[in-house]
């Protein structure tokens, strides 16, 4: 399972705690927690190069 969470890359301890909680509560062998921007990029661009801009209470831009 891969989970996207705002702030996961700047708060690794919180991301690790989220991953541990998901692993304990779900029937899965592995959990990876990454930034919601990474998940948005992968979902929107299907692995292709491009830019994702997320606007909300904060702003994130990710170009790969």
Task: Return the pLDDT at 23.
Answer: 96
Question: In terms of DSSP H, where are the helices of the chain?
Answer: 12-25, 36-45
Give CA separation, 53 vs 1, 3, 28, 56, in Å. 24, 19, 31, 10
Task: Return the pLDDT at 4.
Answer: 95
* Residues 2-54 pLDDT 10s: 999 999 999 999 999 999 999 999 989 999 999 999 999 999 999 899 999 99
The confidence band for 58, taking pLDDT boundaries of 50, 70 and 90, is: confident
Task: Return the pLDDT at 57.
Answer: 84
Class of residue 43 by CB neighbours under 10 A (exposed 0-12, middle 13-18, buried 19+) = exposed
């Amino acid at each position: 399972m891969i989970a996207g969470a705002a702030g996961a890359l700047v708060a690794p301890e919180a991301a690790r705690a989220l991953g541990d909680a998901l692993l304990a509560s779900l029937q899965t062998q592995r959990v990876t927690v990454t930034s919601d921007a990474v998940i948005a990029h992968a979902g929107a661009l299907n692995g292709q190069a491009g830019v994702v801009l997320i606007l909300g209470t904060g702003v994130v831009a990710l170009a790969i």
